[in-house]
Chains A and B, each alone.
Chain A
Amino acid sequence: MTGIDLQRLTRSRAERLQELGQDIVNAAYLRGDFVLSSGVRSAYYFDKYLFETRPSILRRIAGYLAELVPPNTDRIAGPELGAVALAASLSLEVGLPFVIVKREVKAYGTAKAVEGELHRGDCVVVVEDVITTGTQAIHAARQVETAGAHVLAILAVIDREQGGTEKIGAAGYHFQPLFRRTELGM
């Protein structure tokens, strides 16, 4: 016995990605009667914290998201709170700095919409955890642009396929999720 899972090593990229999707579902898919902040009533909810707080999942997500980061990217942006762990792990994976986009700008403290170092003209990739209607992701992208940077793309882990793709596209952003809900067997 070598202790090495040869079968796993020889799996294709598609198989490994599918396995990651299944691990995310197992960790974070909750059934119930939920009302999302987007206004949608849903019989299920992806509890992002349940997959973002598992290093074995987070590391693999970062690896696949890194493949989607354009080569001319200067910085990663993660909207608070859920996507901060994603942004940090992706930042480590690609070796680029990241910023945190505040959900709302406070009139006190630093009063900043974007925390961290962001320069005018920076090319930024916004990373989100779960996309429903896309409103929050678009808001984050707008905040980055207001700070003078360019948004190259919005990346996400899961697209719930409830209008987010269309809305983000209509807002003028390139959008790419790792998984769409139907791909996860939902």
Chain B
Amino acid sequence: MKDETEDRENRELPLEVLFSRVGLVVSGPGNTGAFDPFRDPVATDQIGRELAHRMKVLNPNVVCVWEEPTDMILGHVVARELGLRWVRCVNSDGLAAILGLLPRNPRAALVSSVALGIQTIRAIQNLVAVHGGALVGVGVLVGTEQLDEVASEVPAVVSLVRSAAS
């Protein structure tokens, strides 16, 4: 079992080090790797807290994630830190759907480990709009060129680090 000292030391580690502990590589060219929160729950928790901190400016009242179980873990941490509930958006055989309960007049913040494609962003925007709300922003771990392409479609984009590849 890790003691408090070790936990505190983890919190003080640079993001790049925390990222490397969950499979993400951002210092070199090429692939940024795949977010694997199972490799280091403590690093995952710290990364999620940091992302939540930076997403406060979006002033969401619900956090949403798209499909991926790994992003559900990240979304859980972010929602916990922001004191919000979170929902999961899925592709159900061609129909986009929300699993979970949205609040009234949802102001949804999308949390994702990687930059999602524009079609997925639009699906989430429209899902929230159907419920009378709006997507207020996107929080991702690694900013990439793909994220730049969708940035004009959403009110705000928050990323923890910028990929050296982009």
Q: Determine if chain A interacts with chain B.
A: yes
Chain A residues near B (Cβ < 8 Å): 33-41, 45, 48-49, 81-82, 130, 132-133, 135-136
Instruction: Tell me, in angstroms, the Cα distance from A24 to B163 when the chains sit together.
Output: 48
Q: Is the interface of B mostly helix, strand, loop or mixed?
A: helix
Beyond A35-B123, A133-B119, whether A41 also contacts B129 by CB under 8 A is yes
Bound Cα distance A135, B120 (Å): 11
Give the total number of A-B pairs whose CB atoms are below 8 A apart. Answer: 49
**Extra 5 A-B pairs, beta carbons < 8 Å, given A33-B130, A35-B127, A39-B126:** A35-B95, A36-B123, A39-B118, A81-B93, A136-B94
B137-156 CB contact bits vs A (8 Å, 1 = yes)?
Answer: 00000000000000000000
Asked if residues B130 and A38 are in contact (CB atoms below 8 Å), the reply is: no
Instruction: For the complex, give the distance between the alpha carbons of A143 and B96 in Å.
Output: 23
Contact check, A36 vs B96: say whether CB atoms are below 8 A apart. yes
A–B complex contacts, Cβ < 8 Å, 23 sampled: A33-B130, A34-B95, A35-B95, A35-B97, A35-B123, A35-B126, A35-B127, A35-B130, A36-B123, A37-B96, A37-B123, A38-B119, A39-B96, A39-B118, A39-B123, A39-B125, A41-B130, A45-B95, A48-B93, A48-B94, A82-B93, A82-B94, A130-B94
**For the complex, is B161 an interface residue (Cβ under 8 Å from A)?**
no
CA distance A136 to B117 in the complex (A): 13
Tell me what chain A mostly uses at the interface: helix, strand, loop, or mixed.
Answer: mixed
B121 at the interface (CB under 8 A from A): yes
Asked if residues A135 and B119 are in contact (CB atoms below 8 Å), the reply is yes
Q: Decide if B118 touches A36 in the complex (CB within 8 Å).
A: no
Which residues 93-140 of B have a CB within 8 angstroms of A?
93-97, 118-123, 125-127, 129-130
Q: Is B166 in the interface zone, CB < 8 Å from A?
A: no
The answer to whether B91 has its CB under 8 Å from any CB of chain A is yes
Closest to A107 in B: B34
Residues 26-40 of B, flagged 1 when their CB comes within 8 A of A and 0 if not, give 000000000000000
A11 CB → nearest B CB, Å: 32
CA distance A11 to B120 in the complex (A): 44
A39 and B130 contact, CB distance less than 8 A: no
CA distance A33 to B97 in the complex (A): 12
Contact B95 A39 (CB under 8 A): no
- CB contacts (< 8 Å) of A132 on chain B: these are 94
Once the chains are docked, how many angstroms separate the CA of A132 from the CA of B95?
Answer: 11
How long is the Cα–Cα vector from A143 to B43 in the complex, in angstroms? Answer: 34
With a cutoff of 8 Å between Cβ atoms, the chain A residues found around residue B120 in the complex are 39
Closest to B96 in A: A35
- Tell me the smallest distance from the CB of B53 to a CB of chain A, in Å: 29
Of all chain A residues, the one with the shortest Cβ separation from B128 is A35
Alpha-carbon distance between A131 and B63 when the two chains are bound, in angstroms: 31
Of residues B92, B93, B118, B122, which shows the largest number of chain A Cβ atoms within 10 Å of its Cβ? B93
> In the complex, what distance in Å separates the CA atom of A101 from the CA atom of B125?
28
Shortest Cβ distance from A133 into B: residue: B119
A136 to B120, CA, bound (A): 13
Q: B102 CB to closest chain A CB, in angstroms?
A: 13
